Structure formats: structure tokens, C-alpha cells
Amino acid sequence: MLRTSQTPIQHVYIVDDDSAVRDSLQILLEALGYEVRVFASAVEFLRDAASLGFGCLLVDLQMPGIDGLELQRRLVAANIKLPVVVVTGHGDISTAVRAMRAGAVDFVEKPFTNDAIISAIGMALAERPVPTAADQARESVRERMTILSPREREVLEGMVAGHSNKVIAQNLSLSPRTVEIHRARVMDKMQARSLSELVRLALSAGLGQVLL
């Protein structure tokens, strides 16, 4: 899938604890025109999941800590709808079947071929559901979240967790005044008129539901 200026960007999110696998897949898929982001763990992915646009999630089932199945469960619980392709080791088909029963689009076995990965991702991205009004509203909020700086995102997470400016400042090693400035910017970028509206928007986009 070589992308032209008329082709919409298609995102692929790779979650695998093997850096060699991440690097090789990123090189392959970017050469085909995909916009690729890689994550070394489910924990790392979950931190950003609520702010990601639609794309195919390519995830290794066998990872330390939160494995692929648990990651999939948490995304479903947070109503984050990404088509999932799972990667499984040889002889672990039963786990892959469980993942498909839980909503995964396809699975590929290691060692996999480039063609197998490309085919599975293409099929996953072709299954984009027709968005409901609620889906469109959540996507709009997630798009706003993408323009937050990393520090503003941390402040937002603290606000959604119910922390005061003082507690957020202590947790982030900032001054309360700096937190106030970040907070005002978050409110502006998220187009929220009140703290309650901001929290509602963030929760509607899945923030807080997938945080660890």
C-alpha cells in the first residue's frame, strides 16, 4: 500500500517487547506508506491509547506483565475500538483463538512472513466500523488530546485522577503556579469550560479507564 497525497494516512501501532521485531516491522510498514508507532510494552501503549487515532494494533500475545490478551480486554473495557492483529508463538494457537473470540481480527504465527503481516493488517484496516455519533464525539476529543504536550498530558491525568494542583505539582516536581499554567492550557486545548466538563471529556475518550 504505497500512499499518495490523495490516500488517507493509515496508522499501525506495534506492541512487542522484542526490539528487533519492532524495528523490522516498522521499517517494513513505513516503506509501504503506513504511519507507524512502536511500543515496548502494553503499559507504554496504554499510556497513549486514549489519544490515538484509528489504526491497526499489532500486538504480541506473550509479553511480560500485561500480555496481549489483557491489553485487548482493557481496550474493550475503555471502549477504545482498534482492530487487533495478534502475533503468537508456534504451538500457541489456543491463545490466539481466545484473542479472536475476544474480538481480534486475525492472528499470525511466529516466524511470520512479510506477506502474512501485510495481509493481516490490510484486512484489519478494511474492517473500520461505521462510526456512531458517540464514536465521532470520542474521536473529536481524542484529536484534541493529541495536541497536548507531554507535560500537559501528565497534568490532565492528574486532574482526572482527582488530584489537587498541589498534589500534581509534588508528583511532577513542579511549582503550583506552573501547574496552574498547564491546567489553563489543557482547558483551552480541550475546549472545556469547567473542570467537570474536562473530566467528562477525558473519561469519554478512555483516559483513566486504561491508566494503570
Q: pLDDT tens digit string along 64-91? A: 999 988 999 898 888 788 999 999 876 6
Domain with CATH 3.40.50.2300 in the chain: 11-126
Set of cell numbers at residue 81: 475500538
Residues 73-77: contacts with CB under 8 Å, at least 24 apart: 73/102, 74/46, 74/209, 74/210, 75/49, 75/210, 76/102, 76/103, 77/209, 77/210
CA distance 191 to 115: 43
**Model confidence, pTM:** 0.66
Domain with CATH 1.10.10.10 in the chain: 133-204
- State the SS3 of 32-68: CCCEEEEECCHHHHHHHHCCCCCEEEEEECCCCCCCH
pLDDT of residue 199: 84
Average pLDDT (87-109) is 80
Over residues 158-211, the pLDDT tens digits come to 988 888 999 999 999 999 999 999 999 999 999 988 888 888 888 777 776 555
Q: State which fold the 133-204 domain adopts.
A: Arc Repressor Mutant, subunit A (1.10.10)
pLDDT of residue 128: 67
What CATH number was assigned to the domain covering residues 11-126?
Answer: 3.40.50.2300
